[in-house]
C-alpha cells in the first residue's frame, strides 16, 4: 500500500483540493468503493462523466502508477477496514438498517473529525473569543442551526452575541464591526461565495474572523484562524447532514474552553444562570 496510509481516507481529505474533473472521479469512488474496484477505466470515466486520461491523472495524483495499480490499492484499503466511510442508505433499507447506518456514520464522522482538529487553532480561537468585544456567528443553510446553537451557548459569557443566517445581514454586520470584534463563520464546504465576501468585508475593518470549515477552502483562506473540519460526508441524497454534528461538537469545545479559561468564579456565574431555570420545570418523577 502507498505511504499515504488508507487510500480512501486520503481521497476524502484531499477532496476540496481536486480540480472539477478529478473531483467527479473521487465522488464516484467514494460513493461506492466496492463497485469502483470492479470498474474498467472506461466504465469509471463514463460514471464520472470525464475522459479516460482524466481518470489516469486522478490515479497518479494519489501516488499510484495508473488505474490498475489504483484499483489494487483501493482493494487493499477496503480489506484493511474503513470505518469512516459512510454506508450509503438505500431506498429498500429497513428502519433497523437505516438507523444503524445513520448512527454508525455519525459516530465515525465525529471520531475522524476529532482526530483531525488542530489544538493550536482551537487554543487561538478560544483566546480571541475571550477577548472579544462582541461576537457574531454566521451560518447559512444547515450551518444556520449551528450558528443558533452557538449563540445560545455564548450569550451566557457576558459578551454581546448574535447570529445571522441572511447573507445581506452578514455583510452589514461585517461592515459595522471593528477591531476587537469577532465573527465566527461556519460553513461545511467553505465555498459559499456570499459568506466569503462578508468575511472579506469584516477583515478589511480589522475584525477577527474564526472559521469552522473545510481545510484549504476559500473561506478558510480568508480567516484569521481556521478550525479545519475535514469533509467526510458523502453526497448520497439519503444521507443526513453529519457535518452538523461535527460543527456542533466544535462549538461545544470552544464554549468549554472559554468557560475553563475564565476560571472558577465564572463557572459560578454559569451556575447562577442555570439555577434561574429551576422553577420553570416540573420536578423529575421518582422511579
Looking up residue 201, the CATH number of its domain turns out to be 3.40.50.10490
Of 24, 57, 79, the residue that ends a domain is: 79
Cα 5 from Cα 22, distance rounded (Å): 20
Of 34, 59, 79, the residue that ends a domain is: 79
- Asked if residue 2 is part of any domain, the answer here is no
- Asked if residue 286 is part of any domain, the answer here is no
- Asked if residue 244 is part of any domain, the answer here is yes
Q: Are residues 153 and 245 in the same domain?
A: yes
Q: Are residues 134 and 246 in the same domain?
A: yes
| pLDDT score for 10 | 85
Looking up residue 14, the CATH number of its domain turns out to be 1.10.10.10
| pLDDT score for 88 | 65
Of 79, 100, 127, the residue that ends a domain is: 79
Q: Are residues 260 and 198 in the same domain?
A: yes
| pLDDT score for 15 | 85
| pLDDT score for 26 | 93
Question: Which residue, 230, 219, 159, is CA-closest to 193?
Answer: 219
- Asked if residue 151 is part of any domain, the answer here is yes
- Asked if residue 60 is part of any domain, the answer here is yes
Q: Are residues 65 and 195 in the same domain?
A: no
Q: Are residues 73 and 152 in the same domain?
A: no
Q: Are residues 157 and 210 in the same domain?
A: yes
The structural domain count of the chain equals 2
Q: Are residues 63 and 120 in the same domain?
A: no
- Phi, psi (degrees; rounded to nearest 5) at 181: -90, 155
CA atoms within 13 A on the CB side of 149: 18
| pLDDT score for 59 | 94
- Asked if residue 108 is part of any domain, the answer here is no
Question: Which residue, 98, 90, 72, is CA-closest to 32?
Answer: 90
Q: Are residues 43 and 132 in the same domain?
A: no
| pLDDT score for 81 | 54
- Asked if residue 86 is part of any domain, the answer here is no
Q: Are residues 203 and 156 in the same domain?
A: yes
- Asked if residue 187 is part of any domain, the answer here is yes
Q: Are residues 195 and 60 in the same domain?
A: no
Per-residue pLDDT of the chain (287 residues; tens, 9 = 90+): 444 457 888 888 888 889 999 999 999 998 888 888 889 999 999 999 999 999 999 999 998 889 999 998 888 877 665 444 456 666 788 898 888 878 887 888 888 888 889 999 999 999 999 999 999 999 998 899 999 999 999 999 989 999 999 999 999 999 999 999 999 999 998 999 999 999 999 999 999 999 999 999 999 999 999 999 987 655 444 444 678 899 999 999 999 999 999 888 888 888 888 889 888 988 877 65
Range of the domain at 226: 115-275
Amino acid at each position: 500500500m502507498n505511504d499515504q496510509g488508507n487510500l480512501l481516507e486520503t481521497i476524502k481529505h484531499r477532496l476540496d483540493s481536486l480540480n472539477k474533473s478529478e473531483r467527479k472521479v473521487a465522488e464516484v469512488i467514494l460513493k461506492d468503493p466496492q463497485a469502483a474496484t470492479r470498474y474498467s477505466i472506461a466504465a469509471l470515466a463514463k460514471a464520472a462523466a470525464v475522459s479516460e486520461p482524466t481518470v489516469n491523472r486522478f490515479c497518479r495524483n494519489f501516488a499510484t502508477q495508473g488505474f490498475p495499480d489504483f484499483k489494487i490499492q483501493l482493494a487493499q484499503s477496503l480489506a484493511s477496514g474503513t470505518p469512516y466511510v459512510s454506508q450509503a442508505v438505500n431506498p429498500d433499507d429497513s428502519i433497523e438498517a437505516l438507523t444503524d447506518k445513520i448512527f454508525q456514520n455519525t459516530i465515525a464522522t465525529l471520531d475522524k473529525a476529532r482526530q483531525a482538529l488542530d489544538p493550536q487553532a482551537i487554543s487561538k480561537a478560544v483566546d480571541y473569543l475571550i477577548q472579544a468585544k462582541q461576537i457574531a456567528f454566521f451560518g447559512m443553510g444547515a450551518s444556520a442551526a449551528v450558528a443558533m446553537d452557538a449563540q445560545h451557548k455564548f450569550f451566557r459569557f457576558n459578551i454581546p452575541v448574535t447570529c445571522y443566517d441572511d447573507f445581506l445581514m452578514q455583510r452589514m454586520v461585517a461592515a459595522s464591526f471593528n477591531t476587537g470584534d469577532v465573527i465566527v463563520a461556519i460553513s461545511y464546504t467553505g465555498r459559499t461565495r456570499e459568506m466569503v465576501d462578508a468575511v472579506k468585508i469584516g477583515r478589511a475593518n480589522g475584525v477577527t474572523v474564526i472559521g469552522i470549515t473545510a481545510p484549504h477552502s476559500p473561506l478558510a483562506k480568508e480567516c484569521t484562524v481556521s478550525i479545519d473540519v475535514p469533509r467526510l460526508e458523502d453526497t448520497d441524497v439519503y444521507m443526513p447532514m453529519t457535518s452538523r454534528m461535527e460543527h456542533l461538537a466544535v462549538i461545544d469545545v470552544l464554549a468549554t474552553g472559554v468557560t475553563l479559561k475564565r476560571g472558577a468564579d465564572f463557572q459560578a456565574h454559569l451556575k447562577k444562570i442555570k439555577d434561574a431555570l429551576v422553577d420553570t420545570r416540573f420536578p423529575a418523577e421518582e422511579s
